[in-house]
Structure 1
Amino acid sequence: MSFYISGGILIIYLDHAATSWPKPPAVNQAMQLAMEESAANPGRGSHVMAVKASRVIFECRMQLAKLFNVNNANDLAFTHNTTVALNMAIKGILQEGDHVVATMVEHNSVRRPLEYLKRTLGITVDYVKVNGKGELNLRDVEKALRQSTRLLVCTHSSNLLGSILPIAEMGRLAHEHGALFLVDAAQSAGILDIDIERMNVDMMAFPGHKGLLGPQGTGGLYIGPHVDLEPLIHGGTGSQSEEKEQPSVRPDRYEAGTPNTVGLAGLTVGVKKVIELTPKWIYSHEWSLTQRMMEGLMAIPQLTLLGPDQGQPRTGIVSFVHDKYDSSEIAFRLDREYGIAVRAGFHCTPLAHYAIHTEKSGAVRVSVGLSTTEAEVDELARAIKQICSS
């Protein structure tokens, strides 16, 4: 299916790894209703609109707890995006002398906070290597863990390669070595089955605007009940206002300032849609599309696909490079000549490019979503074939 956007421009949207689009119509409707009826400050007053706003926030928390199998919904703290959530977790738990294990497929939202703390706190970090497909050997993870390891952090799925890391096993290894386990679910929340308890997850950062089908400016951090983070932001919470310190009660401790109530109203509806369809069905839908896409792209001479081989597990991401054409040129021509939206460059994950030796070229990333159709995937392959044969 193709969509008309502002100005009557026809677009095939294949950039869902950045932000899913279009949103389910009910998401837009819920946000409009919230703006009209409950756009007051939750937890800051007892008037009708403030109470309605509080109910909006509560409902979103409960739906997310249901999706991720979180026992206490108050262990979910809302943030503006995954980046803020990862910064909250990393900067809130690490102290001078701590050791961290991460991987070579981490996003800059993990790497940059870690490198900052290396410089300012003197923490040490080891990045576990991956193979050319973005896949991890658990033995390498275990070898990297030390007595001083405070945190093991990894992305659930690479935003460049689509490879899926074995987070349940990684969480088990972390706990066996006395470390906490933090998961970056930017590419997996709403698409892969996530069970906080079963997967040994202590903290998990997630976006609202990708697989959960909500608007931008929404996301969150699951913080296990046994984990006490130093808040990243201090300020008003509407609770314990007479105290000079940030309150200890959750989720207020981690949610200073006015929340995005309107956005969370939309996110609630997005999460309900995911629960209705199930992540299992959504993953199967996206996987089938990626396999069809890979088949079409593999027929193009001098084009190399990145990530897991055809038939192997992956999220809805297919990245590639071409021997002759620059990645940015291909993406530009797809947009301007064919109305197809993809992304080219380094995708905020330079370590992954070093791991697969594309640090000089970057890559074109195509990412499917819930709304993507087989016809759109076929049109993409046709367009790239024409570009690369011109």
Structure 2
Amino acid sequence: MYYFDHAATSFPKPKRVIDSVVTTMEMHGANPGRGGHSLSRQASELVLQTRQKIAAFFHAPSEEHVWFYPNATFALNQAIIGFPFSNGDEVVTTHFEHNSVLRPLYAMEKQAGIIIRFAGGKTGEETAASVVEAINDKTKFVVINHASNVTGEIVPLTSISEKAKSVGAILCVDASQTAGTISINMERDGIDLLACPGHKGLLGPQGTGILLSKHDYHLKPMTYGGTGHSSESKDQPIMWPERYEAGTLNTPAIAGLGAGIDELEYLGGTEAIYQHEVQLVDYFLREIANVNVSLVGSDTTEGRLAVVSFAFAELSSQECAIILDQHYQIAVRAGLHCAPKLHEWFGSINKGLVRVSFGPYTTMNDVRVLIQAIKEIGASF
């Protein structure tokens, strides 16, 4: 199988990640923070080590500011639905958001009476400029996709964070596509809340997500329950991270996520990974220019990730994906990619798009196989 669906989840997983998950289940499978015995202490240490790695990786204030969840969707819900909105508060976002941002915003529109202002442009730079223009004195919260999961366009953060700070707004960044692929520094980039999955660019197992909070924004916890201490209290503890992590954590997966961070360093860090993927997408874009397909987004590597979406005029995205899968053993993603407003923006809402996305283990030969398959499909019309 030739795998081109890294924007959904990275595959294959590094051996060190698999080994870490298996070893944890075999040797340290107790509940972290739920007992004084040695196995529980070992599990707690594994969780702490991963917390520390992530805090350092994203330049968070400390490990207490790192909260673990089942996925980025849960993390974004904690950030958005947990935020103390008041009726009439304005939120600025973009047309290119995933439903993991859109649906929580729509829920808060109904429940809290917030006003949603949408911004956007053809490129990441244009989108950033549009977001800056949309931010005003009534803006309380800005939530943006750091890079589109459909077009790969990267949205620069500096101007947005500066404008948000100037009006006292909170900046929440969905780094689902960028975490592990490009450098993210919460302090340098002016990020208040950072949400990302552990199973994509960070190379960890599925079932892992992270929310990092720079300061205390008085978020309401999404879950209430056991935390391993203060059991006599009727209220959720106020200390971090326990306040936002009720219930048993997925210790084996979190240990695997820590191993994923180690693998990123072994591969040379985000800059090396980005350069590898950009080299592949550059070749892909140059070759696909000779095929009768329409691209969405930029046709260059400037300011983008290794994510490309396209369409055949004569073929639906789902049909194309089936052909690639069944006849060429090539895995891609087709449809609306949980980003309906983007497809409305680009006029692809009816047929959807075929998305190909590259990862750190994708080879040039893999890309050549993909290109040849697309050319053969195009030649059949």
What interval of TM-score do these two structures reach, taking the shorter chain for normalisation? over 0.9
| TM-score normalised per structure 2 | 0.97
Q: Which amino acid aligns with 1:17?
A: A
Matched, 1:108 2:108: no
Deviation of 1:140 (Å): 2.5
Q: Which amino acid aligns with 2:82?
A: G
Q: Which amino acid aligns with 2:284?
A: M
Runs of 5+ consecutive residues of structure 1 not aligned to the other structure: 1-10
Aligned to 1:291: 282
Matched, 1:308 2:308: no
Q: Which amino acid aligns with 1:20?
A: S
User: 1:302-341 maps to which residues of 2 (within 5 A)?
Assistant: 303-341=293-331
Q: Distance in 1 between matches of 2:136 and 2:12?
A: 45
Aligned to 1:261: 251
What does the per-residue CA deviation read over 1:110-144, in whole Å, with 9 as the maximum and x for residues that have no partner? 0000011111221110110222x465344422332
SS at match of 1:215: coil
Q: Which amino acid aligns with 1:176?
A: S
SS at match of 1:93: coil
Aligned to 1:54: 44
Q: Distance in 1 between matches of 2:326 and 2:177?
A: 27
Instruction: Pick closer, same or farther for the CA change 1:210–1:41 going to 2, 3 Å.
Output: same
Contact 2:125 2:156 in 1 (8 A): no
Q: Distance in 1 between matches of 2:154 and 2:254?
A: 28
Q: Distance in 1 between matches of 2:70 and 2:250?
A: 8
What does the per-residue CA deviation read over 1:216-252, in whole Å, with 9 as the maximum and x for residues that have no partner? 0001100122322110111101121111100000000
Q: Distance in 1 between matches of 2:223 and 2:158?
A: 30
SS at match of 2:121: coil
Matched, 1:39 2:65: no
Q: Which amino acid aligns with 2:164?
A: A
Contact 1:105 1:130 in 2 (8 A): no
Q: Distance in 2 between matches of 1:28 and 1:164?
A: 30
SS at match of 1:344: strand
Aligned to 1:342: 332
Structure 2 residue corresponding to 1:216, chosen from 206, 210, 213: 206
Spell out structure 1 runs of 4+ moving beyond 3 A.
none
Q: Distance in 2 between matches of 1:137 and 1:116?
A: 24
Q: Distance in 1 between matches of 2:130 and 2:151?
A: 20
What does the per-residue CA deviation read over 1:57-113, in whole Å, with 9 as the maximum and x for residues that have no partner? 001001111111112111010001000000000011142322100011110000000
What does the per-residue CA deviation read over 1:205-225, in whole Å, with 9 as the maximum and x for residues that have no partner? 010000000000001100122
Deviation of 1:145 (Å): 1.6
Aligned to 1:196: 186
Contact 1:86 1:110 in 2 (8 A): yes
Instruction: Pick closer, same or farther for the CA change 1:338–1:195 going to 2, 3 Å.
Output: same
Matched, 1:251 2:241: yes
Matched, 1:120 2:104: no
Deviation of 1:166 (Å): 0.8
Q: Distance in 2 between matches of 1:139 and 1:27?
A: 39
Q: Distance in 2 between matches of 1:235 and 1:217?
A: 20
SS at match of 1:248: coil
Q: Distance in 2 between matches of 1:75 and 1:347?
A: 30
Matched, 1:25 2:15: yes
What does the per-residue CA deviation read over 1:281-338, in whole Å, with 9 as the maximum and x for residues that have no partner? 111111111111111211112x012222324121110110111111111110000000
Q: Distance in 2 between matches of 1:216 and 1:306?
A: 28
Q: Distance in 1 between matches of 2:169 and 2:119?
A: 16
Structure 1, 315-324 or 180-189: larger mean CA deviation: 315-324
Instruction: Pick closer, same or farther for the CA change 1:145–1:313 going to 2, 3 Å.
Output: closer
What does the per-residue CA deviation read over 1:168-225, in whole Å, with 9 as the maximum and x for residues that have no partner? 2211111111100000000000001000100000000010000000000001100122
Q: Distance in 1 between matches of 2:173 and 2:126?
A: 15
Aligned to 1:4: none
Q: Distance in 1 between matches of 2:143 and 2:5?
A: 25
Instruction: Pick closer, same or farther for the CA change 1:170–1:134 going to 2, 3 Å.
Output: closer
Aligned to 1:187: 177
What does the per-residue CA deviation read over 1:34-79, in whole Å, with 9 as the maximum and x for residues that have no partner? 0011111100100011001000100100111111111211101000
| TM-score normalised per structure 1 | 0.95
Q: Which amino acid aligns with 2:111?
A: T
Runs of 5+ consecutive residues of structure 2 not aligned to the other structure: none
Contact 1:246 1:253 in 2 (8 A): yes
Contact 1:289 1:377 in 2 (8 A): yes
Contact 1:239 1:252 in 2 (8 A): no
Instruction: Pick closer, same or farther for the CA change 1:139–1:270 going to 2, 3 Å.
Output: closer
SS at match of 1:197: helix
Q: Distance in 1 between matches of 2:216 and 2:240?
A: 12
Q: Which amino acid aligns with 1:170?
A: I
Matched, 1:99 2:97: no
Q: Which amino acid aligns with 1:14?
A: F
How many residues of Structure 1 are paired with residues of Structure 2 in the alignment?
Answer: 378
Q: Which amino acid aligns with 1:123?
A: I
Contact 2:285 2:299 in 1 (8 A): no
Matched, 1:85 2:75: yes
SS at match of 2:55: helix
